[in-house]
Amino acid sequence: MFWAVQGMAAELSTGAMVMAKIRDSNRKISMLVANNKATFTKKAKGRILFNCKDGALIDQAIEKAIITGEGQTVWMKSEGRDAVGDIVSIFEFEWTVKVK
């Protein structure tokens, strides 16, 4: 599977979480990817599922942005797994959040 397809799916798994956390804050907050890193560990075949478990990290960044009024950054990781559960890729995205 082409790396760009995996990258889009991985970004979505982190970005959707960031958007949901912003919505839950009831504040106007901007978000943007500043950096990303990727590691490929196995050829990706078939359906690849991406999962991010860094909700607490984005909660902390949003809370700090609201309290300080300053932009915050947070690295969030998404793991891509194939049908048998093997990790095929790991993507990390540095998200920035700032209260508008």
Which SS3 state, helix, strand or coil, does residue 52 take?
A: strand
* 29-53: average pLDDT: 96
- With bands split at pLDDT 50, 70 and 90, how would you rate the model's confidence at 1? low
Q: How far is CA 86 from CA 32, 62, 66, 76, 83, in A?
A: 30, 32, 38, 20, 8
Instruction: Tell me the helices (H) and strands (E) count for the chain, helix number first.
Output: 2, 4
Would you tell me which CATH number, out of the four given (3.40.50.970, 3.10.129.10, 3.40.50.1220, 3.40.50.261), belongs to the domain 3-99?
A: 3.10.129.10
pLDDT at 2 over 90: no
Task: Return the domain boundaries, the chain.
Answer: 3-99
Largest CA distance in the chain: 45
